[in-house]
A and B are shown apart, each in its own frame.
Chain A
Amino acid sequence: MLDEPRNTQEQIYDSGIAKGAERLTPEKIQRVIQEMLAGEAGARLKTYVETCVHCGLCSEACHFYLSNDKDPRFSPAGKVKQTIAEMVRRKGVVSVDFMKKASEIASTECNLCKRCAMYCPFGIDVAFLMLFVRRICHKLGITPQYIQDTAHSHSATYNQMWVKDDEWIDSLQWQEDEAREEMPNLRIPLEKEGADFMYSVIGPEPKFRAQLIYQAAVIFNTAGLNWTMPATPGWDNSDMCMYTGDNDMMARIKKAHFETAMRLRVKKIVMGECGHAFRSIYDMGNRALGWRMPPVPTVHAIEFFYELLSTGKITVLRKYDKPVTIHDPCNVIRGRGLHEMLRYVAHAICEEVIEMHPNREHNFCCSAGGGVINCGPPWKMKRVNGNKVKAQQLFEAKSKGAVTCIAPCHNCHGGLEDIIHVNEIGMDLKFLGDIIYQVMEKPEQA
């Protein structure tokens, strides 16, 4: 089995990796790796690599391993062996081809979902190690093309999608206009200083999923909340630089975001339904800036909807009548423990909830996260085929009657959409906001 070819550069061409590699020499690779190992590599990296007892117990944590016929090269420790462990062992004396493969493994075969840390007896954090590999690849200029482009967008515009400043404001006003047909005195308050919270979304929302902003506005207006959205860069809470290993940009983007909230003197930030953006604010970006916890309290939409529903600020008129299943997004479940609140909300707005198994902290990632979906079309089929276990889970939920899958995360949506489509599962995907907007009691109905 091990001699069979797998998805390699021979089969998948990524111009970011290929063109970047043309400029590399073994000497440069060695210098960069040695600098990184002597410089940024800290106690965790060394301890993880040295402590691993090669027991293979992490294997079955990983959907890539399970979905690729248990090919050991896709196991968490297998990926470490092929990348950072070898770089450490050989003190950076590795070939250009080795680095191309390392970039592919770290960026397209690991979602940084941290499920393996819950299966390794030592709690070895393979996601942390893969991020370190990505950082080396960033320094060497061999990051996959599509995600590098989004990172460039962040650098140039402070948002992920090359949205221009006026386009952003236009999109908000356009959604406000649309929503006013339904709710005449609805506002999307821009730049309102001292509001209770700033609502922030990811770059793709104004670009592709503007109806989500519309729905959020209806929900917030119905609940009578004192909120605002910024009209300046810093509105985007997403962060692909976190996933390319561009730590300096990660810090700058988050700084812009936090400073925007501080400028508006809001009490907190409420984020849309996105997992990786939450990770950036709550876990990685804040730390890169030296903040133990986010400097402005931040809540994810799941938690916010939980608050609104449990305090009766919004009420449900008629529950969503199709049976739903729940996809737990790793970044807010393993990343923030919102699984019970998610269930509270799902049960409050839906007639019937059918669980997928395993769920909560043990849920499988959608295979889109960790920037993998952002590596773009070249890697799509590898990503989808790398998550047959998720397809299996969805099929099982469907066979028990689930018609709709709730996925409160943008990336999960993208990933699950592809999985559902390619495997012909036939299931609807919804955000919590979609359903709440549909089932809640609105003013004119009251």
Chain B
Amino acid sequence: MHAVYSFLTGPLAWVAFGIFFGGIAYRLVSRALLARKRDTAVFEYWSFYHALRSILHWICPFASVNSRRRPVLSVVTFVFHVALLAAPLFLFAHITLINEAFGVHWWFMPDGLADVLTLAVLGACIFFFVRRKVRPEVAYLTTAGDYAILALVAAPFLSGFWAYHQLPGHAAATLLHIFSGEVLLVIIPFTKLSHMFFFPFTRGYMGSEFGAVRFARDW
């Protein structure tokens, strides 16, 4: 058990973070080079002001027409993403591990708040799952991969919660947690989860075109 733990938190963690950061860098750089070659328009029409303006309108809930049309989803998705990013980044347990390994640490949230955020992410995943089942326009687009990704996103949160609360089998849950967290990090650059780092560019480009060339809003 301990050997597995050391492996997961040692070499495999290095590999996972390496693929995560390296993968993102590779995808962004290779995409930018491709754009230089075939989509010069992206550079030509890019306007930081208009890009940022559009990004902000699409990050803030209710700042776009479509977001106002779907209040429930807008709130769920906003809470989901905030919790998804904040929980692991400011978790006491994570920061402790990093501090032990590298001697750096930063603000952490109370564990009670971490619990709330974790449950929020899990709740949102259930919401997304149900939405995929019941809304015909979403069901039509849904592939097995979409469900798999949803499960892979939920897994570290579920197992982390399990481990923290010392529920039965928590030792295994801890291992599962770390492993699933690493799997998630690894797939982000190579699946639709790449929307995490492509979002500023797709939205920003549309914002630039609409703002600086078409003189129209895009939200």
Contacts and interface: CB of A to CB of B under 8 A. Distances in A.
Contacts of A46: 31, 34
B167 interface: no
Contact of B58 (A59, A121, A125): A121
Nearest to A340: B215
A117 B215 contact: no
Given A42-B37, A72-B137, A78-B141, A53 B54 contact: no
A54 B146 contact: yes
Contacts, number: 130
Interface in B187-219: 192, 194-195, 198-199, 201-203, 205-207, 210, 213-219
B192 A54 contact: yes
B143 A54 contact: yes
Nearest to B218: A118
A59 B137 CA distance: 7
Interface stretch (B16-24, B38-46, B112-120): B38-46
Interface in A288-336: 292, 333-336
Interface string A39-83: 011111011101111111101110001000010110101100100
Interface residues of B, number: 48
A50 B194 contact: yes
A287 interface: yes
Contacts of B45: 292
A122 B58 CA distance: 8
Contact of B202 (A75, A124, A335): A124
B105 interface: no
B214 A334 contact: yes
Contacts of B198: 47, 50-51, 122
B144 to A, nearest CB: 12
Interface string B93-105: 0000000000000
Given A123-B205, A124-B202, A337 B215 contact: yes
B59 to A, nearest CB: 9
Contact of B140 (A81, A118, A339): A81
B216 A122 contact: no
A446 interface: no
B25 interface: no
B11 interface: no
B199 A52 contact: no
Given A42-B34, A337-B214, A122 B202 contact: yes
B214 A47 contact: no
A362 interface: yes
B166 interface: no
Size bin of chain A's contact surface: 35 or more
B141 A334 contact: no
A121 B136 contact: no
Contacts of A339: 216
Contact of B192 (A44, A50, A65, A117): A50
A185 to B, nearest CB: 38
B42 A44 contact: yes
Contacts of A60: 66, 69
Contacts of A334: 210, 214, 216
Contacts of B65: 118-119, 362
Nearest to A55: B138
B66 A42 contact: no
A118 B141 contact: no
A1 interface: yes
A78 to B, nearest CB: 6
Given A44-B35, A44-B42, A123 B214 contact: no
A335 B32 CA distance: 26
B216 to A, nearest CB: 4
B38 A43 contact: yes
Nearest to B44: A292
A42 B35 CA distance: 6
B138 A44 contact: no
Nearest first, the 7 closest Cβ-Cβ pairs linking A and B are: A337-B215, A123-B206, A42-B38, A72-B140, A43-B35, A56-B138, A42-B39
Interface of A: 1-2, 40-44, 46-48, 50-57, 59-61, 65, 70, 72-73, 75, 77-78, 81, 117-119, 121-125, 283, 287, 292, 333-337, 339, 361-362
Interface of B: 31-32, 34-35, 37-39, 41-42, 44-45, 54, 58, 64-66, 69-70, 73, 135-143, 146, 192, 194-195, 198-199, 201-203, 205-207, 210, 213-219
